[in-house]
Structure formats: structure tokens, C-alpha cells
Amino acid sequence: MATKTCIANNQDVCLPVSKMPHPYERSPINLVSYYKSIEDNFPVVCTTDGSKINSKVGLAFVVFQDHIETEVHQFRIRDECTVFQAELLCIAQAVNWIRTNENISSNFLICSNSFYSLYALKCITSSNRLIVKTQTNLSLL
């Protein structure tokens, strides 16, 4: 099990307009309702979670390939971060993992229980750096 420490900085959260990519270069996520057998339709499934417990903030995602757990990634971030930031960063980390694994097809599912993160990722006019970067990475898949 890999554990990494990340520093999430609250400064410079928003991109200046001059640095914003064209909306064509950003892909909003495709939201689907979860049902018990949905995972059967995807060879790669990542489940994500971010949380704050006893004032400590962390996140993790688990990768399943053909219903077999293949990897677990855990990250510790600054205690000042919110659960929303942890959840959003976790989804971003899962997207990065999918993008850097060339053997992964474009047919994947990321499961998250973070309503706000999912809806934030649907908005292609957001100036939040992490949202923009995640959407840009998704458009490359």
C-alpha cells in the first residue's frame, strides 16, 4: 500500500482568465447513477474517498481491474484543507493515474460519493485550478 504526503496550498486556487484553456480543451465529467452491476460494464473501476478525521485530512483511491483490487493509493494533505478539497483532489489523482497508465482503455469508471466535487467537475467555466486540470486531463483520455 503506497502512502504519500501532499501539500495542498490554498493560495492561487483560481486561474487568471489569461491562463484558462478554451472550453473545447476541457471535458466535463459524464455523471451516471450508480447501480449494483454498473461495474460489470467497465474493465477499470476506481473508487475514491476524501475525509477529515480528528482534524487530519487524507484521501485514497482503490483501483479494480476486472473486479480484482490491484492498487491502493493513499495521500495525506494539510489539516487546513476541507473535505471538499480532499474529495476533489482524490478524483484528480484517480484521473492522473488512469492517464499515466497507458494500458488502461478509455472505458473506465470513477466512483465518488462527493456530490459537490462531481458537480464542480461538470462546470466547464470554473476557474479552480484543480477542476481545470482534471477536466483537461479527462479531455486527453
Per residue in 21-50, pLDDT (tens digit) is: 887 888 778 888 888 899 999 999 999 999
The alpha carbons of the chain give a radius of gyration, in whole angstroms, of: 15
Angle between helices 129-139 and 83-100 in degrees, nearest 10: 30
| Average pLDDT of every residue of the chain | 88
CB-based contacts of 64: which residues, under 8 Å, 6+ apart? 39, 44, 45, 46, 47, 70
pLDDT band of 13, cuts 50, 70, 90: confident
Name residue, grid cell 471538499: 84
Residues 120, 112: contact at Cβ < 8 Å?
no
Task: Single out the residue of 9, 14, 27 nearest to residue 89, CA to CA.
Answer: 9
pTM of the model as a whole: 0.86
Residues 86, 55: contact at Cβ < 8 Å?
no
Least confident residue range of 48-62, 95-109, 115-129:
95-109
CB-based contacts of 51: which residues, under 8 Å, 6+ apart? 57, 58, 59, 83, 86
Architecture of the domain whose range is 39-139 = 2-Layer Sandwich (3.30)
Render pLDDT for 99-116 as a digit per residue (tens, 0 to 9): 999 787 778 999 999 999
Residues 86, 60: contact at Cβ < 8 Å?
no
